[in-house]
Structure 1
Amino acid sequence: MASQAQLDMLAKINNQNGFIAALDQSGGSTPKALALYGVEESEYQGDEEMFAKVHEMRTRIMTSSVFNGERVLGAILFENTLDRDILGQSTSSYLWKVKQVVPFLKVDKGLEAEVNGTQLLKAIPDLDTLLAKANAQNVFGTKMRSVVKLANAQGVEAVIEQQFAVAKQILAAGLMPIIEPEVDINSPEKAAAEALLKASILKHLDNLAADQQVMLKLTLPETANFYQDLVKHPKVLKVVALSGGYSREEANNRLTANNGMIASFSRALSEGLSAKQSDAEFDATMDSSIESIYQASKS
């Protein structure tokens, strides 16, 4: 039985204009995110100090007056962030109760080595424990990322089959899964890989129970509105777009051309932010970024 908070979060994602902020850089991607923010590796030692630094960055983003539920529908968190507080309350509680931003949790443990032009999820042996923790902290949904690099039918099917298997475990725990099979923007077979991906996702959506829905997080496609079948599918709550290394301008332009998709940007959201900025400069940069992504997500 869904709680009132979960029903309110579902209604917000389903009905309101806006986008999802991806604030879920994990161990491997954190040094790069910090460097782009102006924090050099010489300024911290070891993982604990690194995660403390990135939590400072995320806290600054989430506590900014321009970051709120009017334009930001949700935020995806890394588990380390879920375990930390913002202004005296848990991060997920702060997001929803103070900012009216729906919290999601990244649950994957990274990627396997490339096989058949794709990278599967590593095993998630403690997933049930993690989902119980998410439920206890009023998290609405989860996210897990695989990667597709080539138009290999066997590889793409393996990615989607695995994603949906994990998604069913997440649905059984009462949470909303974001299925993320990222197509590498530098793939020499990007359009062909997207065609295989869409066909496989449609097949697996038809195998969900009548009352089940998932969310999809997809690379912005080579052909505008290529994913309309997914956007309009009754078993898809929302299709969100990853920026995948595109600049914010390029990502926004591509997103504007894809009706019904909304942003779930990470690097494109934090582009231009710096630890060295004054609060006024930081907020002004954030406001401009959020507004541009919000407008692109409304199309």
Structure 2
Amino acid sequence: MAQETSTQTAQLDRIANGKGFIAALDQSGGSTPKALALYGVTEDAYGNDDEMFGEIQKMRARIITAPDFNSDKILGAILFEKTMDAAIDGTPVPAYLWDNCGVVPFLKVDKGLADEADDAQTMKPMPDLDALLSRAVQAGIFGTKMRSVIKGANATGINNVVSQQFIVGRQIAAADLLPIIEPEVDINSATKAEAEALLKDAILAELNALPADTKVALKLTIPTEAGLYDDLAAHANVVRVVALSGGYTTDDACEKLAKNSTMIASFSRALTEGLNVAMSDDDYNGALGSNIDKIYRASIQGALSKT
């Protein structure tokens, strides 16, 4: 981020050094029906994609406007593109997050996963990425997130995923946005630990090749070996290492995360676990507040803020 504004400087300090976690509110086309179904909104409640995204926007707005969704425990929030373009109470969502909640806005930029090859799924092409990054900067977005998936300990597949992530990451950094690199390792992989060891080596090689002023964040599956990613968190080019919940329950994800002192949470399903559209405001806010508190406590338990 070559030419930081005062807002960017404050946001960078918050993400790098703050106590808390990053909320993932970025379900997109493929995952939206499942997220809505878990929330109690069945497919007969919407007739097309626009109505579906309207329902998920209502869900996200209810989360963001809840009393416990604030800077006390939440550092940032990752948004889907349609959410970036939406508003809450007449205020664009990115501005609402920062100005009303003190929460740093991020944007999911990938367009989904390519077909599996070599036990991994790289990202689909993003030919319009530069235009999206320009819009994101204008909207007040601080950083981005993009996801790939690793299914097994296949060095070719892992290297392909990591190489693509860092090529696109450099493009994002050149647009003065902080890229969150997310090569997820499937929690159900039979070779999860072995894949994570290969992934760590591949990421370190890419980090060592970055210019000194190019900063990234990493979003990784909670490793089988606690503390595996400590070296990544200590790297001069890494702002923060955050963890995805990967399908674990909230309690399981928090228990595993608490064993990794240099990682904080960036949970999606674990954040919204137990929430339902039919809940009263009191019940809804209580359930969400409980999830936020669990994830916050797991994120700060022995956490080492980078300086």
Instruction: Report the TM-score when normalising by structure 2.
Output: 0.97
Distance 2:247 2:41 in 1: 20
SS at match of 1:115: coil
Q: Cα distance, 1:70 vs. partner?
A: 1.1
Offset at residue 122 of structure 1 (A): 0.3
In the alignment, which residue of structure 2 is the partner of 1:193? 195
1:96 corresponds in structure 2 to 98
> Which residue of structure 2 lines up, in the alignment, with residue 205 of structure 1?
207
How far apart, in 2, do the equivalents of 1:201 and 1:16 lie?
24
Is 1:131 matched with 2:133?
yes
Question: SS where residue 230 of structure 1 aligns?
Answer: helix
Q: Which of 231, 238, 262 is equivalent to 2:264? A: 262
Q: Deviations over 1:226-257 (max 9, x none)?
A: 11111111111000000000000100000000
Q: Give me the whole-angstrom Cα distance separating, in 2, the residues matched to 1:245 and 1:115.
A: 22
Shift of 1:274: 0.6
In structure 2, distance between residues paired with 1:15 and 1:170: 22
Write out aligned runs for 1:163-182 (5 A): 163-182=165-184
What are the superposed Cα offsets for residues 169-223 of structure 1, whole Å, 9 maximum, x if unpaired? Answer: 0000000000000000010110010011000000000010011110000000001
Helix, strand or coil: the match of 2:227?
coil
- Equivalent residue, structure 2, for 1:122: 124
For 1:36, which of 35, 38, 45 is the aligned residue? 38
Match of 2:184, SS state, is strand
What SS is found at the alignment partner of 2:240? strand
1:136, CA displacement in angstroms? 0.2
CA distance in 1, matches of 2:159, 2:259: 27
Q: Give the aligned CA root-mean-square deviation in angstroms.
A: 0.5
Structure 2 runs not aligned, ≥5 long: 302-307
Task: Determine the structure 1 residue equivalent to 2:249.
Answer: 247
Where does residue 277 of structure 2 map in the other structure?
A: 275
The residue type paired with residue 9 of structure 1 is Q
Report the residue type matching 2:248 in the other structure.
Y
Which residue in the other structure is 1:73 paired with? 75
Runs of 4+ in 1 over 3 A off after TM superposition: none
Distance 1:52 1:258 in 2: 37
**Match of residue 83 from structure 1:** 85
AA at the equivalent of 2:298: A
Q: Deviations over 1:64-94 (max 9, x none)?
A: 1110011010000000111111110110010
* Amino acid in structure 2 at the alignment position of 1:137: A
SS in 2 for 1:25: coil
Partners of 1:200 and 1:14 in 2: how far apart?
Answer: 23
Mapped to 1, the partners of 2:99 and 2:270 lie a distance apart of 26
Q: Provide the C-alpha distance between the structure 2 equivalents of 1:228 and 1:50, rounded to a whole number of angstroms.
A: 40
Aligned partner of residue 181 in structure 1, secondary structure: strand
**Unpaired segments of 5 or more residues in structure 1?**
none
Q: 1:5 aligns with which of 4, 7, 13?
A: 7
Aligned length: 299
2:24 match: secondary structure: strand
**Equivalence for 2:65:** 63
Aligned with 2:47 (options 26, 45, 48): 45
By how many angstroms is 1:16 displaced?
A: 1.2
Q: How many Å separate the matches in 2 of 1:15 and 1:168? A: 23
In percent, how many aligned pairs have the same letter? 55
What are the Cα deviations for residues 13-70 of structure 1, in whole angstroms up to 9, with x where unaligned? 1121000000000000000000000111111111000000000000000001110011
Q: Per-residue displacement from partner, 1:113-132 (whole Å, max 9, x unpaired)?
A: 00000000000000000000
Aligned to 1:288: 290
How far is 1:2 from its partner? 1.2
**1:217 equivalent in alignment to 2:205:** no
- Aligned to 1:61, the other structure's residue is in SS state helix
Give the whole-Å Cα distance in 1 for the aligned partners of 2:189 and 2:93. Answer: 36
Alpha-carbon distance in structure 2 between the residues aligned to 1:84 and 1:171: 25
Letter in 2 for 1:199: D
